[in-house]
């Protein structure tokens, strides 16, 4: 069987909402409650893959440890027809990546709310002891008004204690190259400051329409995170205030010790700063 069946137990598959390298997201209808939900499901050909099963199980554990309106709610890990799947709330809105691509000017109008709600979601995750490790526009679902849901907790890791930061084995490098912190690229054990860096990359893209660093290859892109000067936000988008540009530069510091010490600190600054101080102008 290469295609998903029409039903998985009590869930009727309605329509596919998205897909990744090893999973699909579907809207489903639950028989008993008639509620519309979403599922994250491994395609049938990979249903027995141990690594994919471990990732779903891990994401379920992380998700069930959270409880916040800006973080997608995961109800349970289930299996039907030999196919494992996560059952979660349905939030039928595009990703921030798609909204930026479709209409950047529209997104700019609600950019302050998006930035604050994204930081709020990450702060909640950190409070529960997790670092997300893959903060990016693709992992935020956003309404037209700027309300946010953080998704995809598959590679979240426990925030290390002092011993874990000083003594750790080689770490498998995971994440998305356009948004990875320098310490993550180097394969170090990361804490919440890695998510702060990734949030900085995402806010830069939110304000400027593109990530802060680019490259003709993955290696060049990663090297630019490590060594290229931090781009100036208000040089690309002249509507952005100087104080907001300074904050983004702090978030993107190469050395984690030079970034804000916590997402709580980031939130305090985001809620206090004026994001724009001029009418929107054509981006450089």
Which residues belong to the active site?
134
| Nearest of 99, 113, 104, 95 to residue 20 by alpha carbon | 95
Distance CA(30)–CA(233), nearest Å, equals 46
Distance CA(218)–CA(11), nearest Å, equals 40
CB 86 within 8 A of CB 74: yes
Token pair of 248 as six digits = 């983004």
Torsion, Cα of 102, 104, 106, 107 (10° steps): 100
CB 190 within 8 A of CB 181: yes
Contacts of 120 (CB under 8 A, 6+ apart): 68, 70, 267
Token pair of 272 as six digits = 């206090």
Backbone angles phi and psi of 234, in degrees to 5: -75, -5
How would you classify the pairing of strands 148-150 and 157-158?
A: unpaired
């Amino acid at each position: 069987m290469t295609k998903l069946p029409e039903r998985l137990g009590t869930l009727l598959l309605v329509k596919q909402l998205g897909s990744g390298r090893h999973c699909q997201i579907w809207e489903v209808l639950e028989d008993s409650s008639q509620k519309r939900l979403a599922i994250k499901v491994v395609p049938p050909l990979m249903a027995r893959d141990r690594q994919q099963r471990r990732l779903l199980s891990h994401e379920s554990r992380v998700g069930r440890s959270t409880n916040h309106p800006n973080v997608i709610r995961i109800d349970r890990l289930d299996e039907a027809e030999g196919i494992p799947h996560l059952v979660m709330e349905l939030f039928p809105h595009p990703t921030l990546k798609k909204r930026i691509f479709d209409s950047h000017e529209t997104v700019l109008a609600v950019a302050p709310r998006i930035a604050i709600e994204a930081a709020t979601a990450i702060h909640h995750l950190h409070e529960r002891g997790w670092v997300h490790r893959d903060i990016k526009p693709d992992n935020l679902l956003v309404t037209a008004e700027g309300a946010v849901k953080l998704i995809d907790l598959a590679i979240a890791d426990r925030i290390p204690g002092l011993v874990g930061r000083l003594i750790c084995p080689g770490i498998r490098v995971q994440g998305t190259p356009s948004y990875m912190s320098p310490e993550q690229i180097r394969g170090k054990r990361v804490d919440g400051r890695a998510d702060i860096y990734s949030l900085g990359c995402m806010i830069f893209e939110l304000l400027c329409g593109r990530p802060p660093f680019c490259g003709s290859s993955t290696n060049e892109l990663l090297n630019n995170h490590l060594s290229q000067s931090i781009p100036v936000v208000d040089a690309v988008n002249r509507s952005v205030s100087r104080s907001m540009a300074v904050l983004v530069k702090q978030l993107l510091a190469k050395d984690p010790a030079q970034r804000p010490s916590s997402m709580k600190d980031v939130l305090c600054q985001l809620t206090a700063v004026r994001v724009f101080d001029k009418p929107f102008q054509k981006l450089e």
